[in-house]
């Protein structure tokens, strides 16, 4: 019988780790990391700071996102539960960017 090799989980890059660490430093401890699958692009790690700020890091897949969250001190794994959602502080400028440009005025 042929040996089966397990696919190794890609490790987060130094740039991804630096981005997440920097976010935690700027926005307080503990921060939360929500890993979301975004299709062929990979996964998005949504960062929620202790001050409610949002950020993100794009990684190749969900496993790498989970590894990123585990590797950064004071970054806790989270889901979009009521506690995480209520801890965000989304201001008017962020809401405008999320909404995009209006088609008609």
**pLDDT for residue 88 is more than 70:** yes
Pick the closest to residue 74 from 26, 29, 28, 15 (CA basis): 29
DSSP H or E segment with residue 35: strand 31-37
pLDDT digits (tens, 9 = 90+) for 53-66: 999 999 999 999 99
Contact indicator for 13, 26 with CB cutoff of 8 Å: no
pLDDT of residue 105: 43
Q: Give pTM, 2 decimals.
A: 0.81
Average pLDDT of the residues in 83-96:
83
pLDDT of residue 93: 73
Span of 7-16, 28-37, 69-78, 94-103 with lowest mean pLDDT: 94-103
**pLDDT for residue 85 is more than 60:** yes
- The C-alpha atoms of residue 29 and residue 48 are separated, in whole angstroms, by 10
């Amino acid at each position: 019988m042929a040996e089966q090799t397990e696919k190794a989980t890609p490790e987060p890059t130094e740039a991804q780790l630096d981005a997440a660490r920097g976010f935690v430093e700027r926005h307080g401890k503990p921060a939360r990391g929500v890993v979301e699958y975004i299709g062929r692009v990979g996964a998005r790690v949504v960062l929620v700071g202790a001050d409610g700020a949002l950020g993100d890091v794009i990684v190749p897949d969900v496993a790498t996102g989970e590894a990123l969250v585990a590797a950064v001190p004071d970054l806790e794994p989270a889901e979009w539960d009521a506690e995480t959602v209520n801890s965000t502080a989304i201001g008017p400028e962020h809401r405008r960017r999320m909404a995009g440009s209006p088609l008609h005025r």
